[in-house]
Structure 1
Amino acid sequence: MDIEPSGNITLNFTAPTEAGNPLANPTANTTKWINYTSAIAPAGANRRITAAVNSVIPGVNIRLQAGAASGAGGGTLGTSSGQVTLTTTPITIISGIGGAYTGNGANNGHNLSISLAPGSYNNLATLANTVVVITYTITE
């Protein structure tokens, strides 16, 4: 399993231009794709992919959604769990992966949509350059 293309993404809220208005959420990043190859034993358990963050930013929800499988792959490709809010506890983002391969690179596998939204304005604080790492794991 890997994420294509490699590299970091940047998401920033935009301050309101008028007092009393909410923060403007950044546009979701949809440049990343998750690729995988899975071989399972006959009648073996299906696999799933989980995601978790290394830390939570107070007052901010980090959302992730895996799209439907597309591209050059074959076999029993997984099914998206829909949009999830990431925490430090792994959460399933793709399930039902059987014997399959997605193809390699961008435009193969599951397109990832990563976005931010305010969770609780009570907990928001100004932070600059806060790095959050998303860890993906394929497991049974």
Structure 2
Amino acid sequence: MMLIRIILLMALCALSGSVYSQTASTTVSLTLPVVTLMDVEPTGSITLNFTPPTEAGNALVAPTPNTSKWINYTSAISPSGLTRRITASVNKVIAGVNIRLQAAAASGAGGGTLGTSAGQVTLTTTPTTIISGIGGAYTGNGANNGHALTISLTTNTYANLAAQANTAIVITYTITE
């Protein structure tokens, strides 16, 4: 009898605990803005110079490609889900010379849907896609984060070459949908 009373008492205590439970709620409001940020690191100019041949009949020697620049970006896309791309163009073309650019695959401290390189492109005054498919992502900041850039010069048509001295060419990068 005593055992039955203890079992009933335990059952009532268990039931009374669930009968008297409470819940509460809090409303949290958040904002996630559309973000489109991009830069090239480290800042500053680069110099690429052709080397004249030392023997008559030999071609100009192309400069060693520059690999010191990195593209960094942060992207939070709109609800429509359109991905972003990065284009590059130059302010002028030098006759007889190709300016080539290649973005490597993303590396470093970033995360999300990082973009895909278009491979090596020859730059003109018309923007050319160099990275596509950027979704909600960030690359990390500074050198060794994002997409390493390789900038190189080659000759194309020797008949069009004309001597140039310290000719500044501006490469413009644009991130867009």
TM-score, normalised by the number of residues in structure 2? 0.78
In our comparison, the structure showing a higher alpha carbon Rg is 2
Secondary structure of residue in 1 paired with 2:106: strand
Q: 1:75 aligns with which of 105, 108, 112?
A: 112
RCO comparison, higher one (Cα < 8 Å, 6+): 1
Distance between the aligned counterparts of 1:103 and 1:42, measured in 2?
23
One-letter amino acid of the counterpart of residue 86, structure 2: I
One-letter amino acid of the counterpart of residue 81, structure 2: G
The answer on 1:33 being equivalent to 2:62 is no
Q: 2:58 aligns with which of 21, 24, 35?
A: 21
One-letter amino acid of the counterpart of residue 34, structure 1: I
Map of 1:11 onto structure 2? 48
Percent identity of equivalent pairs = 79
Residues 68-116 of structure 1: per-residue CA shift (max 9 Å, x gap): 0000000000000000000000000000000000000000000000000
The answer on 1:101 being equivalent to 2:138 is yes
Map of 2:161 onto structure 1? 124
Which structure is higher in helix share? 2
The alpha carbon displacement at 1:41 in A equals: 2.1
Secondary structure of residue in 1 paired with 2:102: strand
RMSD, matched Cα: 0.7
Distance between the aligned counterparts of 1:52 and 1:127, measured in 2?
20
Secondary structure of residue in 2 paired with 1:36: strand
Q: 2:148 aligns with which of 98, 105, 111?
A: 111
Distance between the aligned counterparts of 2:52 and 2:159, measured in 1?
16
Which structure is higher in strand share? 1
Structure 1 range deviating more: 60-69 or 35-44 = 35-44
Residues 42-86 of structure 1: per-residue CA shift (max 9 Å, x gap): 341110000000001111000000000000000000000000000
Distance between the aligned counterparts of 1:43 and 1:108, measured in 2?
28
Q: Which runs of 4+ in 1 moved over 3 A?
A: none
Distance between the aligned counterparts of 2:141 and 2:172, measured in 1?
19
Q: Which runs of 5+ in 1 are unaligned?
A: none
